[in-house]
Amino acid sequence: MTSHDVTLEWADGSTQTVAVAENESVLDAAQRAGARLPYDCRKGTCITCVGRLLALEGEDAESAEGGSEQPPDPADVFTYRRSPAALTDQEQADGYVLLCVAHPQSDCRIEVGPRVRAEVGDSPWA
């Protein structure tokens, strides 16, 4: 069975790397590993579990081609078991990912926690 290492990074500098199986969401793998992440709907329709993709394995956003600080495109890293309906196209382009429905296709680092949620704001359905 294929799995990918996803490193979760909190604002206080703590990290935890979890192995995410091929058909497993990041949230499910994190919970299995004992990581505490916020969640609510588990359907991609609220914004509670949002994270921000920081980098692919071996690539920092700051060292990306041309030295830009543009985050990697989540579409290159994740497939979704359901549409991430709570995220706009621009939020997805900015690197935001709904961890309850996201399946990684490569090793990566994701920023998690309340600060990321504050950047995105409330659910569009609130």
What is the CATH number for 19? 3.10.20.30
pLDDT digits (tens, 9 = 90+) for 62-81: 554 455 566 688 888 999 98
User: Which pLDDT value is given to residue 72?
Assistant: 81
Greater pLDDT, 83 or 122: 83
Q: Which range has the worst mean pLDDT, 62-66, 83-87, 112-116?
A: 62-66
Residue 95 has pLDDT above 50, yes or no: yes
pLDDT digits (tens, 9 = 90+) for 6-51: 999 999 999 999 999 989 999 999 999 999 999 999 999 999 999 9
Q: Is residue 32 part of a domain?
A: yes
How many domains would you assign to the chain? 1
Q: Is residue 35 part of a domain?
A: yes
pTM: 0.86
Q: Is residue 16 part of a domain?
A: yes
Residue 61 has pLDDT above 60, yes or no: no
Q: Is residue 87 part of a domain?
A: yes
For residue 119, give the nearest of 100, 102, 84, 95 by alpha carbon.
95
Q: Is residue 126 part of a domain?
A: no
Q: Is residue 89 part of a domain?
A: yes
User: Which pLDDT value is given to residue 64?
Assistant: 46
Domain of 7, in residue numbers: 3-61+70-120
